[in-house]
Amino acid sequence: MDRRDFLKTSLASSMVLGAPAFAADKKTSNVQYQLRGTDVYGKPLDLKEYLGRTVLVSFFTFDCTVCSHDLKLMRDFYLRNVKKKFVLLGVNIDQNKKDLDEYNDATTLAYPKDQRFPTVWRFAPGHQDNFGSLGSTPTHFVLNPKHQLMFKRDGAFLPEDWDNLWLSLP
């Protein structure tokens, strides 16, 4: 039995026994998260469009080395799993929109269109979300298909986070 099969079996066993499969804050696990805004291309974005899909919402800044590393790995995960009802959403938290514009220009040149994921600026007029204040940069939220918190990671995504994310997909 390889690691992935073992993890799937363990996850299924924990669900049958009623044990929590992911380490989520019980106070927020039943909250239905919301996010509305305009993406970097001017298109309206609403998290509700992605109901029924597992969503990774990543809050990042342009100049954060950890963010850049995580986003590279997340982009790869996104490409491999987009057909499994997985969505990656980026939320830029730079105070200055110019920094987001520079990031967007660089990613537009560096990645083909099918490798880009929706990104919004948290400080844009009209932006709304209920993710609250962030403890660190980056901060990642993994939401189930009902947009309830499965787990949250302050800082870099850890190896077990990738396993938990992968196991959450249908």
pLDDT in tens, 143-157: 999 999 999 999 999
Cα–Cα distance for residue pair 14/102, rounded to 1 Å: 45
Would the pLDDT of 41 be above 60?
yes
Residue 27 pLDDT greater than 80, yes or no: no
pLDDT greater at residue 17 or residue 130: 130
User: Does residue 8 register a pLDDT over 90?
Assistant: no
Instruction: Give the bridge partners for 90, in sequence order.
Output: 58, 119
Kind plus residue range of the DSSP H or E element containing 102: helix 97-110
Most confident of 27-31, 97-101, 111-115: 97-101
Which is more confidently placed, 110 or 128?
128
Contact between 35 and 67 under an 8 Å Cβ cutoff? The reply is no
Residue 45 pLDDT: 96
Q: Does domain 23-168 have CATH number 3.40.30.10?
A: yes
Average pLDDT over residues 123-151: 94
The pLDDT-based confidence of 1 (bands split at 50, 70, 90) is: very low
Q: How many residues does the chain have?
A: 170
Q: Is the peptide bond before 138 cis (omega within 30 degrees of 0)?
A: yes
Can you give the residue ranges of every domain in the chain? Answer: 23-168
Residue 68: the pLDDT is 87
